[in-house]
Amino acid sequence: MIETAFAPQDAAALLRWYVDHGLDETIGEEAIDRFALPPPTAVVATPVAAPSTPAAPTPIRAPIAPPVARAPVPLESPQLAEDAREVSRRATTIAELEEAVRAFEGCALKRTAKNTVFADGVAGAPVMIVGEAPGADEDRLGKPFVGVSGQLMDRMFSAIGMSRERDLYITNILFWRPPGNRTPTLSEQAICLAFTRRHIELARPKVVVLAGGTAVKAVLNTTEGITRLRGKWTTLTLDDGSEVPVLPTFHPAYLLRTPASKRQSWADLLSLDKRLKDLGVR
Ligand code: URA
């Protein structure tokens, strides 16, 4: 029997703690005890010797380097959202916007994410779905809504004859996974939202579907909850003055937890189908 320092329940609690803090993937077979590593290795300094007195190299211990002083990056600064707006305004195509998002270093989430998750589906499709943030599957694959909640979303849209290969363009208000799937901060939302608003302008969908309360609050700039707003059409006015009809609906992850709410989501889908028919899209 293997003896461990932890009781099984303690080890399980520790694992849960890691997962809650976003450490949900193993990247090596062997654990490294960094406290047991040897001190920094000595370097050999070779002084420039005077020609007449050849001196042997003197080993000296490298001084522990003080932390490199870098200009602090104020990751909660409103200036970052302004930078994002400025950069996104310069993009005149979706491809340019994607390039700008991928190059943007002003969102702290990018530092912990594996991938930038920009969009999936058909750019220019009649329906643009905007969700909240990539989860672990999306982060790994670099595409939005590819995990279990995305699969439910695909099944729901296929029930009204729509697919991401033909009719849907899918993105999120955030392009990077928050560690441990935590709720994004208002600052992170404001920064990414600047790109997302431009994304909608450039994609020019006939309608936008907002999936879940966080996307609804951010895009519609409201404090009203999703339970009150779902199923109610509203109009989003973009920075270029264009307007687009918007339908808030429950997030598919919520439907997985609360299947009884699928009935309301089905009503939302029928409402979407009707709206598209009224617009002559279907
Ligand atoms: N949830 C979201 O809001 N977006 C995704 O891409 C995946 C899960």
Looking at residue 31, what is its pLDDT? Answer: 62
Of 33-42, 163-172, 192-201, 210-219, least confident by mean pLDDT is 33-42
Q: How confident is the model at residue 37 (pLDDT cuts 50, 70, 90)?
A: low
Q: Tens of pLDDT along 261-277? A: 999 999 999 999 999 99
**Ligand 1 atom, smallest distance to 144 CA:** 6
- Cβ neighbour number for residue 15 with a 10 Å cutoff: 12
Residue type, 210: L
Taking alpha carbons only, the member of 210, 215, 185 closest to residue 265 is: 210
Question: Rounded to a whole number, what is the largest CA-CA distance in the chain?
Answer: 95
CA-derived radius of gyration, the chain: 25
**Ligand 1 atom, smallest distance to 252 CA:** 1
Which tokens belong to 223? 């404090």
- Distance between CA atoms of residues 279 and 244, nearest Å: 12
Give the CA distances from residue 216 to residues 96, 189, 257, in Å, rounded to whole numbers and listed in that order: 26, 12, 19
DSSP class of residue 280 equals T
Q: How many residues does the chain have?
A: 282
Looking at residue 32, what is its pLDDT? Answer: 57
Q: What's the CA angle centered on 257, arms 221 and 15, to 5 degrees?
A: 100
DSSP class of residue 179 equals G
- Cβ neighbour number for residue 28 with a 10 Å cutoff: 6
Phi/psi region, residue 142 (left: phi>0; alpha: psi -120 to 50; beta: rest), is left
| CA 132 to ligand 1 center in whole angstroms | 6
| CA 175 to ligand 1 center in whole angstroms | 10
Residue type, 128: M
Looking at residue 73, what is its pLDDT? Answer: 47
Mutate to test the pocket of ligand 1, among 116, 117, 138, 152 (most ligand atoms within 8 A of CB): 138
Summarize the confidence of residues 115-120 as an average pLDDT.
98
Give the CA distances from residue 195 to residues 105, 175, 252, in Å, rounded to whole numbers and listed in that order: 13, 9, 23
| CA 168 to ligand 1 center in whole angstroms | 15
Mutate to test the pocket of ligand 1, among 109, 130, 172, 176 (most ligand atoms within 8 A of CB): 172
* Percentage with pLDDT > 70 across the chain: 77
| CA 107 to ligand 1 center in whole angstroms | 18
Quote the pTM value.
Answer: 0.76
Summarize the confidence of residues 98-122 as an average pLDDT.
97
Please measure the distance between the N-terminal and C-terminal CA atoms of the chain and give it in whole angstroms.
65
Is the pLDDT at 50 greater than 50? The verdict is no
| CA 93 to ligand 1 center in whole angstroms | 24
- Distance between CA atoms of residues 81 and 15, nearest Å: 35
Summarize the confidence of residues 22-37 as an average pLDDT.
58
Q: Give the 3-state secondary structure of residue 133.
A: coil
- What structural domains and CATH numbers belong to the chain? 78-277 (3.40.470.10)
Q: How confident is the model at residue 190 (pLDDT cuts 50, 70, 90)?
A: very high
Q: Which residues line ligand 1 (CB under 6 A)?
A: 131-135, 138, 144-145, 147, 149-150, 172, 253
**Ligand 1 atom, smallest distance to 131 CA:** 3
